[in-house]
Amino acid sequence: MGTRRLDDCRLAAGMPDNRESIARVPVDRVIDAELVDKPGDVDAAQSARVTGIARPRRRKLPIILFAVTSLSVCWAGMWRWSPVESLDFLFEIYSGQARDWGLDLRCLVVRNGVDAVWYAVAMLGILMTHEMGHFLMSVRYRVAASWPFFIPLPISPVGTLGAVIGMDGRSADRRQIFDIGLAGPLAGLAIAIPVLWLGIERHDWTIAPTGPYFLDLPLGLKWAMQSQVPAGVEFSGVIALNQMNPFFMAGWVGLLITGLNMMPVSQLDGGHVIYGLFGRSSRWIARLFLVSAMVIIVLTELYAWSVMLILILIMGPDHPPTRDDSVRLGWFRTAIGWLSLLIPVLCFPPRVFFE
């Protein structure tokens, strides 16, 4: 039932007009998702607001996760993005083989502590900006959304699995879901590109690449690096971990996360974008992408990405319908949307880490 019809029923029954109380519901509240009865209800979000029932956004858990992720990212930077060494160190402590692990840890902090802090600031800054792009656009359209939830993973090279926000996308129309989906990647790139450029300028071309692990570089980063190669230096298109500086690493991860999120499938940011561009026909693009990804994984033996494909299949490859699919994007949004489809091509490194 629409808002106006519901208000008229209230007045006819002698009940007070609820429209003034609707305006007093704070913006810093999330409408309870249980009030939205079905995804196709055009006035579901308005009906939820009419009840006046709202619950505050969870603050404690996002703050705790952010603090833990900050420590996790610092830990990864402390070990120069080599989780194998950090795991060996923790195993030695656990097994009692480390005689003076406290001294070793203090030496590690003195040697790499400053770089670890800079890496954490740059890395978390990119992630926070990305998620706040989604969040602020959701607030603008009064779409229920949570604060960002950061995901710590200290045993990974980068120290985190990124961040997510919870959102009731069913209350957004086609144009709104397009804006919400694209706001995050564009905001994140606005920070990741300057950070990465700072890392490129601080890259020491005299250090010979050594060690077991190398970073694959996305196409856009390869172009940027080639423009900065000094005369007489040969650039192979990959970077060894021993050549890393904190800004380069943070910017590289920022490109990786942005490129991955912009894949045109499911409810990833790219899934929101292609749904805004093509509506329900976007499901064929998503399915074609999944089939192509499976073929590429088999041919290139990049089986680590199978986990990502399984998660997408669990979520469902098709984007759910919005509150109103008939809303048009307009020429400007359509142009930006088409250009944004280049983001995975320019920002995503398929091999990521390799030996």
Residue 16 has pLDDT above 50, yes or no: no
29: its two tokens: 């509240």
215: its two tokens: 């970073």
Residue range 165-179: mean pLDDT, rounded: 90
193: its two tokens: 């590109």
Per-residue confidence band for 235, with pLDDT thresholds at 50, 70 and 90: confident
Judge contact between 233 and 185, C-beta under 8 A. Answer: no
> For residue 167, what is the DSSP state?
B
Per-residue confidence band for 98, with pLDDT thresholds at 50, 70 and 90: low
Tally DSSP H helices, then E strands, for the chain: 14, 7
| R_g of the chain computed on alpha carbons | 24
85: its two tokens: 């060494």
The pLDDT value recorded for residue 355 is 64
The conformational region for residue 214 under phi > 0 = left, psi -120 to 50 = alpha, else beta, is beta
CB atoms within 10 A of CB 254: 25
Judge contact between 215 and 352, C-beta under 8 A. Answer: yes
Residue range 98-110: mean pLDDT, rounded: 76
Top-confidence residue, 277 or 44: 277
CB atoms within 10 A of CB 270: 29
Please give the single-letter amino acid code of residue 325.
Answer: D
Judge if pTM exceeds 0.85.
Answer: no
Residue 198 has pLDDT above 70, yes or no: yes
Q: What whole-number distance in Å separates Cα of residue 240 and Cα of residue 31?
A: 48
Cross-strand pairs, 168: none
Per-residue confidence band for 116, with pLDDT thresholds at 50, 70 and 90: very high
**Mean pLDDT in the chain?**
81
Alpha helices per DSSP H over 13-100: 19-23, 44-51, 60-78, 83-95
Residue for token pair 């980068």 = 158
Cross-strand pairs, 167: 145
Q: For 210-234, what is each residue's pLDDT tens digit? A: 777 788 899 999 898 888 888 777 7
CB atoms within 10 A of CB 137: 23
Cβ-Cβ contacts under 8 Å for 66 (sequence gap 6 or more): 124, 148, 150
Residue 46 has pLDDT above 50, yes or no: no
Q: For 248-294, what is each residue's pLDDT tens digit? A: 999 999 999 999 999 999 889 999 999 999 999 999 999 999 999 89
